[in-house]
Amino acid sequence: HNHELQSARTARPHFQQPLLHMHVRTLTHNEVTIYSDIPDMTCMKFTIPPPPIPTRFRKLRAPTSIATYSFRQMTVWTKPEYNWKEWMTHLADVLHCRKIKLVFEEGADKYQVLGLKKIFEEFEILSVRVERNDIEFTGQVLKMLHPTEELFVNPTNAEASNSIIRIRGNLEVLEFGDQFPLTISQLEKLDSQNIKIWLLMVTDLDLNTFLKKWISLKTNLNLKQLITRFGLVSISEGYQQRILNGIPYYLVKQSEEDKAILVVGKYQIQRRDGRRAILTFDTTIFP
């Protein structure tokens, strides 16, 4: 189920950015392959898979060559004497690009985070995605590698751990996967603009209190959109009114698109500084 808190101000249009995709899947062959047909790169996407041999704290082995493929040509750079840091510096110089996006696939927690930090420390990290890795490793990634725009985390053992993952800064997009349920107090500590939470463990009263705090400028001041599924909300009759109890609102007419996705309620509320928000309840709200 989606609960959406969205600014009524005009959103910036989203443009597809040119992207160099650098995939490190060929570690067993000691080579990195790049597929691209875009001459001007805005960033490099670097995917870190699990190591070929599942050894704890393994070092990421540097390739001996990097092959680039496009519709126009194929180029192979061979530098067996290069370590990873030298390779990254070389790529940045050749491609005129020092911005990267990092993806840590499931099993990447067998690598040393400190070693990865040294490889990428001279680059601007636009986004980090950590897929189903140990929460301790995930926390280390977030402590050492600080994305400036987007972050996705989905640790495997979040519920069984007392570890606290600290999210820094005002990100454009912050997303938590299905393995990482959040509480309302954790939500209130997040300062990002667009937040997606697969499972938010809240009650009707929690949501009512959160909305009142948001209206009073006491929490999540940068929030433009919140999309989440509710874990503890009672779906008995009148739950929407319990969530909106004591909050001035206007009914919003549903569009044809709303009806297609089974929207069951749509309301507009306004913050003290004039920012308006649309609350949308649909039938996928509940797990």
pLDDT tens, 173-222? 999 988 888 888 889 988 899 999 888 888 889 999 999 999 999 999 99
Band (pLDDT 50/70/90 cuts) for residue 161 is: low
Q: Helices (H) and strands (E) in the chain — how many of each?
A: 7, 16
pLDDT band at 13 (very low <50, low <70, confident <90, very high): very low
Q: Is the pLDDT of residue 56 over 70?
A: no
CA distance 263 to 261: 6
Question: How many Cβ atoms sit within 10 Å of the Cβ of residue 147?
Answer: 25
pLDDT at 18 (0 to 100): 45
Q: What's the pLDDT score for residue 33?
A: 61
pLDDT at position 258 is 83
Q: How many residues does the chain have?
A: 287
264 — pLDDT class (breaks 50, 70, 90) = confident
Residue ranges of the domains in the chain? 15-241
Which pLDDT does position 262 carry in this prediction? 82
Per-residue confidence band for 41, with pLDDT thresholds at 50, 70 and 90: low
What is residue 238's predicted lDDT score, i.e. its pLDDT? 83
* pLDDT-derived band at 246, boundaries 50, 70, 90: very high
Q: Which of 109-123, 175-189, 273-287 has the lowest mean pLDDT?
A: 273-287
Higher pLDDT, 211 or 157: 211
The per-residue pLDDT for 11 is 32
Residue range 255-284: mean pLDDT, rounded: 87
Neighbouring CB atoms inside 10 A of 262's CB total 11
C-alpha–C-alpha distance, residues 274 and 248, integer Å: 13
For residue 287, pLDDT over 80 is answered with no
Is the pLDDT at 90 greater than 60? The verdict is: yes
Model confidence at 82: pLDDT above 50: yes
pLDDT at 63: 72
User: Residue 287 has which token pair?
Assistant: 């797990």
Beta strands, E only, 25-113: 31-35, 44-48, 65-69, 74-78, 99-104
What is the third-level CATH fold of 15-241? 3.80.10
Is the pLDDT at 116 greater than 80? The verdict is: yes
Select the more confidently predicted residue: 237 or 135: 135
Of 85-94, 164-173, 184-193, 217-226, which range is least confident? 164-173
Tell me the mean pLDDT in the region 237-250.
Answer: 91
Query: Cα–chain-centroid distance for residue 248?
Result: 32
pLDDT at position 239 over 90: no
